[in-house]
């Protein structure tokens, strides 16, 4: 998250941007989004590609796993369900979450409360930039790994339902006076 501070009637420090701020503001910009799940082959790649599609240019979305199946492609059933909804995640390759990735991210989205708690216990500085994808209705998104197609459809439905909420939060610039 980038925080830019301007004082009353000051000019932005970049000489190419000339505008005046009437009051003290904090401008939060979220451009780097990290989505996490367990293995980084089902839920997080689905959310990663869906968020990137909906956010468009100017935003970078990555995904990783807390126990990633490193270099594996997305689960075949996750690929199928995504393709059923016109989203291609077949190029995805799983990666392990790292402190560097967490520091890169302006916003970290996890699938379960336990994942958030685990990360906060290891990296307390994440507090305030880590949220659960299902936070809009206080729900965890269940892991469909090694379960029937219906579990993947349910995970897709949760992710697709909450993606517009996150897109709006990410795209809406927060200005606190």
Given 37, 42, 75, 132, which residue is catalytic? 37
CA pair distance 123, 47, nearest whole angstrom: 23
Query: Is position 143 annotated as part of the catalytic site?
Result: yes
Phi, psi of 65 (to 5 degrees): -130, 150
Query: Is position 42 annotated as part of the catalytic site?
Result: no
CA pair distance 163, 149, nearest whole angstrom: 21
Query: Is position 43 annotated as part of the catalytic site?
Result: yes
Strands (E), 129-176: 130-132, 174-176
Given 106, 135, 140, 143, which residue is catalytic? 143
Residue 42 DSSP one-character state: S
Given 42, 43, 75, 132, which residue is catalytic? 43
Q: Residues with catalytic annotation? A: 37, 43, 143
């Amino acid at each position: 998250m980038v925080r830019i501070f301007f004082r009353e009637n000051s000019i932005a420090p970049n000489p190419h941007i000339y505008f005046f701020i009437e009051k003290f503001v904090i401008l939060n910009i979220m451009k780097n989004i990290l989505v996490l799940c367990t293995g980084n082959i089902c839920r997080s790649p689905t959310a990663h590609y869906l968020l990137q599609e909906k956010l468009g240019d100017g935003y970078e979305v990555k995904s990783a796993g807390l126990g990633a199946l490193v270099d594996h492609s997305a689960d075949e059933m996750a690929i199928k369900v995504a393709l059923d909804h016109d989203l291609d995640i077949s190029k995805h390759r799983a990666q392990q979450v790292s402190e560097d990735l967490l520091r890169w991210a302006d916003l970290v989205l996890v699938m379960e409360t336990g994942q958030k708690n685990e990360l906060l216990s290891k990296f307390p500085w994440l507090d305030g930039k880590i949220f659960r994808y299902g936070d809009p209705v206080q729900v965890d998104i269940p892991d469909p790994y090694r379960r029937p197609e219906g579990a993947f459809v349910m995970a897709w439905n949760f992710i697709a339902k909450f993606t517009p909420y996150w897109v709006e939060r990410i795209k809406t610039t927060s200005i606190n006076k």
